[in-house]
């Protein structure tokens, strides 16, 4: 069997690599219009960083896993075509800033309609508004010319940073299909692929709309938990409670559970914000304003948390960061990825730059070009410097801000960092991964999210 995937990004690349590894009899081709990205997939320096990904690609590439820009050929040769193209928030036109931009999905459907040489199963891997499958079907059927197209929804639940592990051991695989005989046959074919490594009771089959909506709902619930604990972190700072203690106490209740209760500078990533905006937009479209308002508040709380963090930094640094050196520990939106999309670090950096600060960034995986692009600054803008190690980043700095929870930050020599910083030396752990008491012993003015500050203790 031949399958292909259009879109060689954070989802398409890892997902197809794991399918290739687990199904040696299937030829898997991943295609993209981005030639540079494909060249990287065919090189030793993959375009994305994910623990375990290099090994899987090395094992399968050239055997049953191929990366190419020849999209037409891949469509013609494949029985099943996955769509893993990006679905960002629209920036103009109706629903700008909220609705999902479906132009890439739309153009893939048209390309499939144009070049397909026979029946095809089209699988939505991208996260899409409910009923997008209907639009894809209409485009394909209007050009069917005797060919049969089946649309399946198979949303991807992997988390960046643990993508390979999530793909190999998924909590569940969700596949939505049409109830017709042809729809159910297509669905069985996709189920048979996953059955190569996923237990049957973890493969859920539903109708297409439930599947599409489940993905949006899952992301909305996950983001909501973060916003909920972050809202409590603000209350903790005001009252003297400690948010990690509160999270631990409530997480032991089996109805709540301990996961996704870590207070932080705010969630990022390409999905949570856009998917909630999309959910809210859709709710409003169906006349459900209260539902839209409810989910929109999750994003509002996240923006508030990031802004609050930036304001706290400013207030700790005596209400001015002008010409001060602020070291950023981390820039990626979470650890174990080089993805910076919607990273809280970007908003914090922009806030501090607007106050005339100088920023020195260290991130183990994010490159300089990406950071400059995210901050919208030129290569020669000296307000931002990229450092190759955390110690030189912190040297002479007035403050260190932990913005990504990379493990390496937990084991640094903070005495050495303190010795070389400008005094008073301020450190703000935006991920609650450091031992704040130990830092205070060293002499730092140390602050974490959701615990009383030294400033408050002084009063």
Number of chain residues interacting with ligand NAD (CB under 6 A): 26
Minimal distance, residue 386 CB to ligand NAD, in Å: 22
Q: Which stretch binds ligand NAD (CB under 6 A): 33-41, 135-143, 288-296, 308-316?
A: 33-41
Per rule CB under 6 A, is residue 270 in the interface with ligand NAD?
Answer: yes
Minimal distance, residue 301 CB to ligand NAD, in Å: 21
Instruction: Kindly tell me which of 15 and 358 has the beta carbon lying closer to ligand NAD.
Output: 15
Rounded to whole angstroms, the Cα distance separating 89 from 360 reads: 30
Instruction: Kindly tell me which of 86 and 296 has the beta carbon lying closer to ligand NAD.
Output: 86
Per rule CB under 6 A, is residue 127 in the interface with ligand NAD?
Answer: yes
Minimal distance, residue 418 CB to ligand NAD, in Å: 36
Q: What is residue 108's three-state secondary structure?
A: helix
- Give helix 289-316 / helix 272-285 axis angle, nearest 10°: 150
Angle ∠(339,59,405) on CA atoms, nearest 5: 25
Per rule CB under 6 A, is residue 156 in the interface with ligand NAD?
Answer: yes
Q: Tell me which DSSP letter residue 202 carries.
A: G
**Of 3, 4, 5, 8, the one binding ligand NAD by CB under 6 A:** 8
Take residue 40 and report the two structure tokens written for it: 């990287």
Minimal distance, residue 128 CB to ligand NAD, in Å: 7
Kindly report the backbone phi and psi dihedral angles of residue 82, in degrees, each rounded to the nearest multiple of 5, phi listed first.
-90, 140
Per rule CB under 6 A, is residue 7 in the interface with ligand NAD?
Answer: yes
Instruction: Kindly tell me which of 8 and 26 has the beta carbon lying closer to ligand NAD.
Output: 8
Which are the contacts of 137, defined by CB distance < 8 A and separation ≥ 6? 149, 151
Q: Which stretch binds ligand NAD (CB under 6 A): 144-152, 153-161, 171-179, 353-361?
A: 153-161
Rounded to whole angstroms, the Cα distance separating 246 from 253 reads: 12
Which are the contacts of 345, defined by CB distance < 8 A and separation ≥ 6? 265, 268, 328, 330, 331, 332, 333, 361, 403, 404
Q: Which stretch binds ligand NAD (CB under 6 A): 9-17, 183-191, 287-295, 441-449?
A: 9-17
Per rule CB under 6 A, is residue 107 in the interface with ligand NAD?
Answer: yes
**Of 33, 218, 314, 412, the one binding ligand NAD by CB under 6 A:** 33
Using only C-alpha atoms, what is the Rg of the chain? 24
Angle ∠(162,163,167) on CA atoms, nearest 5: 120
Contact 48, 8 (CB under 8 A): no
Rounded to whole angstroms, the Cα distance separating 363 from 123 reads: 35
271 is catalytic: yes
Contact 5, 84 (CB under 8 A): yes
Per rule CB under 6 A, is residue 271 in the interface with ligand NAD?
Answer: yes
Per rule CB under 6 A, is residue 29 in the interface with ligand NAD?
Answer: no
**Of 4, 6, 123, 326, the one binding ligand NAD by CB under 6 A:** 6
Q: Of residues 79-98, which lie at the interface with ligand NAD (CB under 6 A)?
A: 84-87
Per rule CB under 6 A, is residue 32 in the interface with ligand NAD?
Answer: yes
Rounded to whole angstroms, the Cα distance separating 282 from 302 reads: 21
Q: Which residues bind ligand NAD (CB under 6 A)?
A: 6-12, 32-34, 37, 71, 84-87, 104, 107-108, 126-127, 156, 158, 160, 270-271
Catalytic site positions: 271
């Amino acid at each position: 069997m031949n399958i292909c995937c259009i879109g060689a990004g954070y989802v398409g690349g890892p997902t197809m690599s794991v399918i290739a590894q687990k199904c040696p009899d299937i030829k898997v081709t991943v295609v993209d219009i981005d030639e540079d990205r494909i060249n990287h997939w065919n090189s030793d320096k993959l375009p994305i960083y994910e623990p375990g990904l290099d090994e899987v690609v090395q094992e399968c590439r050239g055997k049953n896993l191929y990366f190419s820009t020849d999209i037409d050929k891949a469509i013609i040769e494949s029985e099943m075509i996955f769509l893993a193209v990006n679905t960002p928030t629209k920036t103009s036109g109706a629903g700008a800033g909220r609705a999902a931009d479906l132009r890439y999905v739309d153009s893939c459907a048209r390309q499939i309609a144009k070049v397909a040489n026979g029946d095809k199963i089209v699988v939505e891997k991208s996260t899409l508004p409910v009923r997008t499958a209907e639009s894809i079907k209409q485009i394909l059927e209007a050009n069917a010319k005797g060919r049969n197209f089946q649309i399946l929804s198979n949303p991807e639940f992997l988390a960046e940073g643990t993508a390979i592990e999530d793909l190999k051991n998924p909590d569940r695989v969700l596949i939505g299909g049409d109830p017709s005989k042809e729809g159910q046959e297509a669905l069985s074919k996709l189920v048979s692929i996953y059955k190569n490594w996923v237990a049957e009771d973890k493969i859920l089959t539903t109708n297409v709309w439930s599947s599409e909506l489940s993905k949006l709902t899952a992301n909305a619930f996950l983001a909501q938990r973060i916003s909920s604990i972050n809202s409590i972190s603000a209350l903790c700072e005001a009252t003297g409670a400690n948010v990690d203690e509160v999270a631990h106490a409530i997480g032991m209740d089996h109805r709540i559970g301990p996961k996704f209760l870590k207070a932080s500078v705010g969630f990022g990533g390409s999905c949570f914000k856009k998917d909630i905006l999309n959910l809210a937009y859709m709710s409003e479209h169906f006349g459900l304003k209260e539902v839209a308002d409810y989910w929109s508040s999750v994003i509002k709380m996240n923006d508030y948390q990031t802004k609050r963090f930036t304001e706290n930094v400013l207030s700790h640094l005596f209400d001015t960061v002008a010409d001060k050196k602020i070291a950023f520990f981390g820039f990626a939106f979470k650890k174990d990825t080089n993805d910076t999309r919607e990273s809280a670090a970007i908003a914090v950096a922009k806030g501090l730059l607007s106050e005339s600060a100088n920023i020195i960034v260290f991130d183990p995986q994010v490159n300089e070009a990406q950071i400059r692009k995210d901050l919208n600054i030129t290569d020669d803008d000296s307000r931002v410097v990229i450092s190759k190690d955390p110690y030189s980043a912190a040297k002479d700095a007035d403050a260190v801000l932990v913005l990504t929870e990379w493990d390496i930050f937990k084991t640094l020599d903070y005495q050495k960092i303190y010795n070389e910083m400008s005094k008073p030396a301020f450190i703000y752990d935006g991920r609650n991964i450091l031992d704040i008491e130990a830092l205070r012993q060293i002499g730092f003015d140390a602050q974490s999210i959701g615990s009383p500050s030294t400033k408050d203790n002084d009063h």
